[in-house]
Amino acid sequence: MAAPPSPLELLELRPVAFALAELGLLAVAGGLLGAWIVLRRLAFFTHAAGTATFPGLVLAEATAISPRLAALAVALGFAGGVERAGRRGGDPGGVATALLLVAALAGGVVLASDVFESGAAVDRLLFGTAVGLDWGDLVFSGAACVLAALATLALGRAWSAAAFDPDAASALGLPASRADLLLLGTIAFAVVAALPAVGALLVSSIFVVPAAIARLFTRSVTALLRAAVLVAAAQGVLGLYLALWLDIPPGPAVSVLGAMAYAGCVLARASGIRSGGPLPSAGAAG
C-alpha cells in the first residue's frame, strides 16, 4: 500500500478540486433532503429514483440528447408516478415505487440490449466518476443545493407535519398530496445532480446514510438537518481522500465509508455510548 498522499498536494490537482467542490454541494443537498427522506421513510424511493434513470441514460447516449436532461425527465416522471400511484393506493413509498422501478429497469434493459447499445457514458453515470467532472456538473449540483435549501425553508413545516402528524399537515395551507409531490420532485432533481459523482446505483450513500447516522444522535428536526449536512460533508471528503490514496473509484469509497460509519454508530448506540434521546420516530408524535 502506498504512503498516504498529502491533502494539500491533492488540492492542487484540478480534477480533485472539482470533485471536492461537487461533494461539498451534494453534502448540502443530500444532508437537507436526507433528513426528510429518513423522516418520511423514502430511502427506497431515493435509491429507486437514481436507478430508474437507466432507460433515459441509454436513450440519451444513442440519440445525442443530454444525459442530464434525459435522466431528469425520467426521474421527475418517476416521482410523479410514485406520488400519483401512492395517493390512490395509500402506499407512497413501497409498492408503487417497486412496480415503477421494475418497469423502468425492464425498459432500460430492452433499450440497451435490443434497440441501442449501452456504452461507456452510461456505465459512468451508473457507477459515478467524481474525478472526471466539469463546470456543468458543478452548476447543476449548485442548483440542486439551492433548491434543497429553498424547499426546506418554504416547505419544511409541511414536511415535518406530514412525517409526525399527517392529519394536521393540511392545516398549514398546503395539501398533503402537493407537499409529497414537491418533496419527491426535489429529491429526484438532486439525485440526478449526484449521478456524475457517485452514480445512479450509489445515490443512497449521499442522501440516506448521512441522515440515518445523524438521526441516531439528534432530538429535533433542526439538529437533524444540521448534523446530516456535516456528516455528508465529512463522508464525502474522507471518502474522496481514501479513493485517491487506494486508487479506487470515489463513489464506492464514499458508500463503503458511510456504511461502516453507520454500522459503528449503531453499535455505539446499542452499547449506550450516546447522550440524550433520539428524535421520535415518524408518526409517533402525539
pLDDT, tens only, 202-222: 888 899 999 999 999 998 999
- Domain span at 257: 12-270
Residue 142: the pLDDT is 96
Residue 136 belongs to some domain of the structure? yes
Q: How far is CA 7 from the centre of its chain?
A: 26
- Whole-model pTM? 0.85
Q: How buried is residue 234: exposed, middle or buried, by Cβ count under 10 Å (0-12/13-18/19+)?
A: middle
Residue 5 belongs to some domain of the structure? no
Tens digits of residue pLDDT in 160-217: 887 777 666 666 566 667 888 899 999 999 999 998 888 877 888 899 999 999 999 9
Residue 119 belongs to some domain of the structure? yes
Q: What rounded mean pLDDT belongs to the chain?
A: 82
Rounded (10°) CA dihedral 218, 220, 226, 230: 10
Please, how many CA atoms are within 13 Å of residue 278, restricted to the half-sphere of its CB?
19
What percent of the chain is predicted at pLDDT more than 90?
Answer: 35
Residue 2 belongs to some domain of the structure? no
Q: What is the DSSP letter of 204?
A: H
Q: Which amino acid is at 138?
A: L
Tens digits of residue pLDDT in 48-105: 998 888 888 888 877 878 888 988 999 999 998 888 876 665 554 577 788 888 888 7
Q: How many domains does the chain have?
A: 1
Residue 284 belongs to some domain of the structure? no
Residue with cell 407535519: 161
Q: How buried is residue 279: exposed, middle or buried, by Cβ count under 10 Å (0-12/13-18/19+)?
A: buried
What is the DSSP track for 160-193?
HHHHH-HHHHGGGTS-HHHHHHHHHHHHHHHHHH
Residue 283 belongs to some domain of the structure? no
CATH classification at residue 123: 1.10.3470.10
Residue 4 belongs to some domain of the structure? no
Residue with cell 433528513: 35
Residue 196 belongs to some domain of the structure? yes
